[in-house]
Amino acid sequence: MQRWIEIKTVFVKEMTEIMRNTRILIAAFAFPLLIFPIVFGGMSWLQDLDRGQMEQTGIRVMLPSYNQDIEDFITENLDIPVQFFHTEEISKSIINDEADIGIVMDMQKAPERNLWLYYTASRNTSMHARQKIQQLFSENRFEWINKFLKYDISEFDDSRFVPLTIDFSDVASDRERSGHRVAKILPFVLIMILVSGCSFAAVDLIAGEKERGCFETLLVSPVQRTNVIIGKMSIVVFSALIGLISNMVSLFITAKLGFFDLTGEQTFEFIIGIETIAVIFLCSLPMTVLFASLLMFISAGAKSYQSGQTLLMPFTFLAMIPAVTAILPGMRSDSILVLIPVANIVLVMRELLEGTLKIWPLLVGNLINVLAASGVVILTVRGLNREGSLVPGSSTDSDRMLKDFRNDPVKVVFIGFIVVWLGMFYVMAPLQADNLILGLLLTLWGLIFCAGLIMVKIQNLSFRKTLSLNNPGWSGWLGAVIFQTGFLPVILFFNHLLTNLLPLPDQWLEHFSDALMPDVSTFGLLMLMAVSPGITEEILFRGAILGSLRKKWSMTPVILVSGIMFGLLHFSVYRLFGATMIGFALAWMVYASGSIYPAIVAHILNNALALVVIPELGLQDVNEYWLLLGIPLVILGGYLLSFRTAKRDLKRSAVNASNIGESDHGGGSI
């Protein structure tokens, strides 16, 4: 109760201040409200200019052959100059800009569908010509039907002609086409609005107050720091949302005013319906919270309003990068992009507007964003709770922060993982697309393997202990082989169940077979796709990450977290489940055997089996027998793996007792 009163009090106070801050009002309200009328008003003004010019120069009409009747009909009824050309290859001539519009009339199909208009949406002149001709034929439809088709109009009732006697060569639906136009620009604008709305408020509320000494005043009152932070966060979110709402209102009004209606299609209001706006708004919520807390956290690093703005600038651009994906052609939300905050929601919005959105990217994308936002909120609240973060002149010193960092395995692991993840995504993935073999080798040995070693080195830990470089004994080696041989069919079975819920896209299957690289020998393939990942990924995940985390955490959370990280690095919703499960199993193997080697063997075996066996068998045949085959092997292998640990533990504790003074921080629990 007390908590809410405090948060509310802070919120109300900030609200009062913000309403009196013209800078924020402009950024959060006026700018978003005006952007669409300006952008689209400007666009249609430009088109009007074009149109005006065209009225003078006239339009170029292409016909398949000479037809006096049509040509007369058009010149008589059109108030602008018309030129006629003739060719059989209508589409080609329009693409080559030899004409603005092509007209084909089919007497055979009359009167159902009798007129085809060829045009290209990529040229304004063509769009205008289409509009003119379309208008011409629909307004005078009785006349030309009478004239050219030689039907007695009285035989048909009017309604048969009204809906569609004119057909277009453009295959896209109206909805898709005009949705596409808005869809390209809207998500990007929304992200911009959210980021700028958040950053103005965040800088003022954090860096500005710090500079003015208001934090010192506030923090010597009995209010709880966390409540102050939450109160401020709500107002930052709130002001960004106000911006968003202004933006949507602006969009709605612009649509009503008909600025989008550049080609005479009356479909726009249908696209920006209430449901669409509601979905866009809901999708924006986690994004807003994410931006708000991130920008607040960053601006706490600044001592003044001015330096706060400077500090936020690069981060604002950073948010733009994933937002740009929406504008790039060929990006879809049902790909790994769904795992990237900001990018996922931009794509979801675009597809929503185009009418091609699937339900699961919407859900997965939002789930990811809610998780990311919660994480950032927690970090921000904790970060701003540190004594030096909000009061000037008592900044936390960087020296100790680095020291803290080195002594905190959890931080090293998480930050290291994020760096690896970003490196994979932004550097290695494009590299692999360019040259698969080189890209893979660099990813595995250059990034993943090195990251593992650096993680250990930066903490000054012993390699042997952290990476569990111990001899697992014969039972460990054997257990690994048996365990994994059984585990693969089990995973494949569950994966199969899952793919029924979440069907694999065709292009993914293709990509998988592409990856088998026909020009590489089987040996090379195994080295590249089984041995290399087996060693490097194990050194990072079951070595450095597991070895670091287990200094702080007990077995279950270590297995869960390292396994999920392993899954997330596989960059695909489709492989997430399988990879995570294998990650759990491999992590458990390290605990069971006390050594990383069984995990390496199992990993290599897993990939080799997947490479050789799956293409042979085909995944269609997966059934319950795979489970029956797999589970006993898993149990036997598991038993063998943990077989010697008990005995060794006893021996170890005896050894440990005699050399406690060994110079390793903390020491692992194995």
Contact stretch for ligand ADP (CB under 6 A) within 154-162, 226-234, 390-398, 577-585:
390-398
Say if residues 487 and 606 touch (Cβ distance below 8 Å).
yes
Residue 406 beta carbon to other proteins: minimum distance, rounded to whole angstroms = 14
Smaller CB separation from other proteins, 38 or 402: 402
Smaller CB separation from other proteins, 392 or 423: 392
Task: Determine, following the binding rule CB under 6 A, whether residue 394 of this chain makes contact with ligand ADP.
Answer: yes
Smaller CB separation from ligand ADP, 266 or 394: 394
Q: Which tokens belong to 431?
A: 């590299």
CA dihedral 393, 394, 400, 401 (to 10 degrees): -90
Give the ranges where 569-623 is alpha helix by DSSP (H). 573-593, 597-617
Give the ranges where 223-330 is alpha helix by DSSP (H). 225-257, 268-271, 274-299, 305-324
Residue 9 beta carbon to other proteins: minimum distance, rounded to whole angstroms = 5
**Residue 427 contact among ligand ADP, other proteins, none, beta carbon within 5 to 8 Å by kind:** none
Task: Determine, following the binding rule CB under 6 A, whether residue 387 of this chain makes contact with ligand ADP.
Answer: no
Contact stretch for ligand ADP (CB under 6 A) within 22-30, 138-146, 179-187, 392-400:
392-400
Residue 299 beta carbon to other proteins: minimum distance, rounded to whole angstroms = 17
Residue 393 beta carbon to ligand ADP: minimum distance, rounded to whole angstroms = 6
Contact stretch for ligand ADP (CB under 6 A) within 186-194, 389-397, 568-576, 579-587:
389-397
Q: For 76-148, list the strands marked E by DSSP.
A: 82-86, 101-105, 115-118
Smaller CB separation from ligand ADP, 198 or 302: 302
Smaller CB separation from ligand ADP, 211 or 351: 211
Please report, for the chain, how many H helices and E strands are present, in that order: 32, 5
Measured in whole angstroms, the distance separating CA 400 from the mean position of its chain's CA atoms is 36
**Residue 21 contact among other proteins, ligand ADP, none, beta carbon within 5 to 8 Å by kind:** other proteins
The whole-angstrom separation of Cα 247 and Cα 350 is 16
Residue 19 beta carbon to other proteins: minimum distance, rounded to whole angstroms = 9
Residue 283 beta carbon to other proteins: minimum distance, rounded to whole angstroms = 33
Residue 16 beta carbon to other proteins: minimum distance, rounded to whole angstroms = 7
Residue 186 beta carbon to other proteins: minimum distance, rounded to whole angstroms = 33
How many other β-carbons are positioned within 10 Å of the β-carbon of residue 126? Answer: 22
Which residue do the tokens 């569908």 mark? 113
DSSP type of residue 662: -
Smaller CB separation from other proteins, 6 or 351: 6
**What interhelical angle do 555-568 and 573-593 show, nearest 10?**
140
3-state SS class at 193: helix
Task: Determine, following the binding rule CB under 6 A, whether residue 395 of this chain makes contact with ligand ADP.
Answer: yes
Across the beta sheet with 115-118, the strand order is 82-86, 59-63, 101-105, 115-118, 166-168
Residue 503 beta carbon to other proteins: minimum distance, rounded to whole angstroms = 56
Smaller CB separation from ligand ADP, 307 or 374: 307
**Residue 218 contact among other proteins, ligand ADP, none, beta carbon within 5 to 8 Å by kind:** other proteins
Contact stretch for ligand ADP (CB under 6 A) within 27-35, 207-215, 393-401, 419-427:
393-401
Smaller CB separation from other proteins, 227 or 254: 227
Q: Please give the residue whose beta carbon sits closest to ligand ADP in the complex.
A: 394
Smaller CB separation from ligand ADP, 304 or 572: 304
Q: How far is CA 131 from CA 14, 121, 190, 256, 271, in A?
A: 52, 11, 31, 20, 21
The whole-angstrom separation of Cα 380 and Cα 199 is 15
**Residue 610 contact among other proteins, ligand ADP, none, beta carbon within 5 to 8 Å by kind:** none
Cα Rg, the chain, nearest whole Å: 32
Residue 200 beta carbon to other proteins: minimum distance, rounded to whole angstroms = 14
The whole-angstrom separation of Cα 584 and Cα 457 is 25
How many other β-carbons are positioned within 10 Å of the β-carbon of residue 582? Answer: 23
Among the listed residues 194, 203, 383, 385, the one whose alpha carbon sits nearest the alpha carbon of residue 289 = 194
The whole-angstrom separation of Cα 164 and Cα 184 is 29
Residue 389 beta carbon to ligand ADP: minimum distance, rounded to whole angstroms = 11
Measured in whole angstroms, the distance separating CA 477 from the mean position of its chain's CA atoms is 41
Task: Determine, following the binding rule CB under 6 A, whether residue 213 of this chain makes contact with ligand ADP.
Answer: no
Smaller CB separation from other proteins, 47 or 407: 407
The whole-angstrom separation of Cα 365 and Cα 347 is 10
Residue 222 beta carbon to other proteins: minimum distance, rounded to whole angstroms = 4
**Residue 77 contact among other proteins, ligand ADP, none, beta carbon within 5 to 8 Å by kind:** none
Smaller CB separation from other proteins, 213 or 615: 213
The whole-angstrom separation of Cα 11 and Cα 147 is 73
Residue 400 beta carbon to ligand ADP: minimum distance, rounded to whole angstroms = 10
Which residue do the tokens 């860096």 mark? 207
The amino acid at residue 131 is Q
Which residues make up the interface to other proteins (CB under 8 A)?
A: 2, 5-6, 9-10, 13, 16-17, 20-21, 209, 212-214, 216-224, 387-388, 391-394, 397-400
Among the listed residues 117, 107, 103, the one whose alpha carbon sits nearest the alpha carbon of residue 149 = 107
Give the ranges where 424-472 is alpha helix by DSSP (H). 429-434, 436-441, 450-458, 463-466
Task: Determine, following the binding rule CB under 6 A, whether residue 522 of this chain makes contact with ligand ADP.
Answer: no
Q: Binders of ligand ADP: how many residues, by CB under 6 A? A: 3
Compute the Cα dihedral for 486, 594, 418, 527 and give only its sign.
negative
**Residue 5 contact among other proteins, ligand ADP, none, beta carbon within 5 to 8 Å by kind:** other proteins
Interface residues with ligand ADP (CB under 6 A) are: 393-395
